Amino acid sequence: MQSVLKWETNKETYHISQSHFLTLGSFSQEDIYFLLEDAIKLKKYQKEGIPHPFLQGKVLAMLFEKASTRTRVSFEVGMLQLGGHAIFLSSNDIQLGRGESPADTAKVLSRYVDGLMIRTFDHEILEDFARHSDVPIINGLTDSHHPAQVLADLLTIKEHKGKLKGLKICYLGDGNNNMAHSLIEGAVKVGMDISIACPPGFKPDQSILTSMKKETLLTGSSIQVGECPVEMIKDADVVVTDVWTSMGQEAESKKRLKVFAPYQVNKELCKHAKEDFIFLHCLPAHRGEEVTAEIIDGPHSVVFDEAENRLHAQKAILKALLGN
């Protein structure tokens, strides 16, 4: 099924190129810029109290195998503000938790709802749902990708910097996690330079690097991966980090604290970024580990604007995929 969004821009009809929202790497630059522009308009409607029930009568099922604060609330509120309804489902609430296959679950839910947002561990589970679903599948987070968060990050950067293309974004920490992967894809797609500072053994997935390096030839962006945080953060417009121990990695916590210690975002390290850099973190944050309180609670931090923008960016995604 190809989901189509009709959007009047200078009397032209715009068509989103994808049926599902699984990774930013699968979307075109035009798609991403369209979603960002629509998110800005939807945010304006919400702030000015202008009703925007583009999804009147639509229903989104939200399947959670991982706990959530921002993902659940932002998607649920987003559907309500768009005039639709959201249903929360934990894996223990449905037969998926008792062994029913993703394929069968997708086929059944497709007959009840207009879209399905999934927050899970293995990205392959999400792809399995997409292969067997007749309605759009939206990635709320997997171990390897977090595209909804990064779309909100791009929206936040655009709001604070006035542009995206030509800026440098630096991510520090575990390069082989969902935020690093989606940041690479999102940055390259919109023409930003990105540097990843990570220790040996924690580099981004090579297939993502290879794919996105080909894209840099089209967008004029660049990708750097290195072990020295000072070199990677040099002249960065945007500094980003994430927790060092994600859900499912708790047994590795002590090891990770030691390995990632040199990559802590602190005042000394940030002296090498641009003076007007902004700091992003997808939250929740562990102050004193991946970032100091001085940075995350300081004047460069825009983490709560970023958190709010999950709502507006995801409303654009929902409108695009469910509003055909």
Q: Which residue is catalytic, options 20, 38, 81, 119?
A: 119
Strand order in the sheet with 168-172: 223-226, 193-197, 168-172, 238-241, 278-281
Which amino acid would we find at residue 63? L
Condensed to tens digits (0 to 9), the pLDDT of residues 180-215 reads: 999 999 999 999 999 999 999 999 999 999 999 999
Residue 145 has pLDDT above 50, yes or no: yes
Residue 251 has pLDDT above 80, yes or no: no
- Report angle CA 263, 142, 314 to the nearest 5 degrees: 100
Give catalytic status of residue 119 as yes or no.
Answer: yes
Residue among 158, 236, 160, 166 nearest 197 (CA): 236
Give catalytic status of residue 242 as yes or no.
Answer: yes
Give catalytic status of residue 134 as yes or no.
Answer: no
55-64, 120-129, 154-163, 249-258: least confident range: 249-258
Residue 71 annotated as binding? yes
Q: What is the pLDDT of residue 1?
A: 34
Give catalytic status of residue 282 as yes or no.
Answer: yes
Q: What is the pLDDT of residue 11?
A: 33
46-55, 150-159, 247-256: least confident range: 247-256
Distances (CA, A) of 192 to 158, 275, 306: 11, 18, 18
Give catalytic status of residue 131 as yes or no.
Answer: no
Residue 247 annotated as binding? yes
Global pTM?
0.94
Condensed to tens digits (0 to 9), the pLDDT of residues 39-78 reads: 999 999 999 999 999 999 999 999 999 989 999 999 999 9
Residue 146 annotated as binding? yes
Please provide residue 197's backbone torsions phi and psi, each rounded to the nearest 5 degrees: -105, 115
List helix spans (H) across 191-237. 206-219, 229-233
Averaged over 258-286, what is the pLDDT? 98
Cβ within 8 Å of residue 213, ≥6 positions away: 223
Q: Which residue is catalytic, options 114, 170, 242, 312?
A: 242
